[in-house]
Amino acid sequence: MLLSVNNVTKSYPIPKGIFSKGKQEVLKGISLEVKEGECLGIIGESGSGKSTLGRLILGLEVQDSGKISFLGSEDKKLQQKHSSVVFQDYTSSVNPRFRVIQIISEPLLQRKMNREKRKEEVISLLEKVGLSEDFLFRYPHELSGGQLQRVCIARAIATKPKFLLLDEAVSSLDVSVQVQILDLLLELKKSENLSYLFITHDLLAVTYICDRVIFFKEGKIVEQVDDIHELKNVENEYAKALLSVYL
C-alpha cells in the first residue's frame, strides 16, 4: 500500500470574532488507501473537503486526529520526498518572471548536477510531457493553458516521485485540451510508474483516468466504487445525483 489515510479529521476556527471558539469540521473521519500504480479519484462539490484532504496528504497542513502514512511510515519527510502535486491554477503555480527552464529546474536544484546536466534533464522532462526544446526559454505568458500545465507536470515529475496529487488539474482547460492532458497523465502513469490521487468535481474526467472513485459530501465519504466500470451501480442518493448529470 502506497498511501493510507485512517480516520482523519480536520476543523478550522469559525471567523466570527477575535475570541470566537467555534469550529467548522471540514473532514469527518476520512479513511482511504491508494495502491501502487493506481489512480484513485475523489469527486465532490466545492466545499466538500477534497482539497483540504489533499493539503493534509501533502503535509502542507496537519490533521486534528487520525493517521496518514506513506509506504507504511508516518514520516512527513519521506512522504514529501516521494510525492508531488499539480494544481488547478497553472498560472499562479509558476513564477511569471521565470522562463520554462527555470520553472522545471526548481526541484532539480537540490540535486548535485552542473548547469549543462540540469539543462539536459529539463529537455528530457519537456519531451516526456510532449514539448520540445524550443520551449526552454519561453515565459509563462507565451504559452497556452495546455502547454503551461504540461510544464507544471514536467516540474512535478522532475524529482521522480512515486505519488502525484492532481487537484482539479484539468478543470481550467478547454475540453479538447483536457483530453490531451488526461492522455498524457495516463502515459506518464505507466512510463514513470506513478500512482495518482485525482481530486475533481468532473465525473467524466474520473471515468477517463481513474481505476476507483470515492464520493465526498460535507467532509465524509458517502460512496466508494472499487471498479470504475461499476460506477453506474452507485447506491447513495448524492452519488446518483452527480452521476445523473452525465447520463
Q: Going residue by residue through the chain, which has 247 residues, state the pLDDT in tens, using 9 for 90 and above.
A: 899 999 999 999 887 665 656 788 999 999 999 999 999 999 988 889 999 999 999 988 999 999 999 999 999 888 888 999 998 887 788 999 999 999 999 998 877 788 899 999 999 999 999 999 999 999 999 999 999 999 999 999 999 999 999 999 998 899 999 999 999 999 999 999 999 999 998 898 999 999 999 999 999 999 999 999 999 899 999 999 988 876 5
pLDDT for 42 equals 96
Q: Which of 245, 173, 237, 174 is nearest to 207 (CA)?
A: 245
pLDDT for 246 equals 66
- Tell me the β-bridge partners of 53: none
- For the beta carbon of residue 72, count every other beta carbon within 10 angstroms: 10
The conformation of residue 149, written as its DSSP 8-state character, comes to H
Task: Report the distance separating Cα 95 and Cα 16, nearest Å.
Answer: 35
Region of 234 (left: φ > 0; alpha: ψ -120 to 50; beta: rest) is beta
Task: Report the distance separating Cα 236 and Cα 138, nearest Å.
Answer: 48
Task: Report the distance separating Cα 96 and Cα 129, nearest Å.
Answer: 20
Question: What order do you get walking across the sheet with 3-13 strand by strand?
Answer: 23-34, 3-13, 65-70
Amino acid at 138: R
pLDDT for 120 equals 96
C-alpha torsion sign, points 239, 242, 244, 247: negative
Number of H helices and number of E strands within the chain? Answer: 8, 9
- CB crowding 101-119: b at 16 or more within 10 Å, else e: bbbbbebbeeeeeeeeebb
Tell me if the pTM is above 0.85.
yes
C-alpha torsion sign, points 127, 129, 131, 136: negative
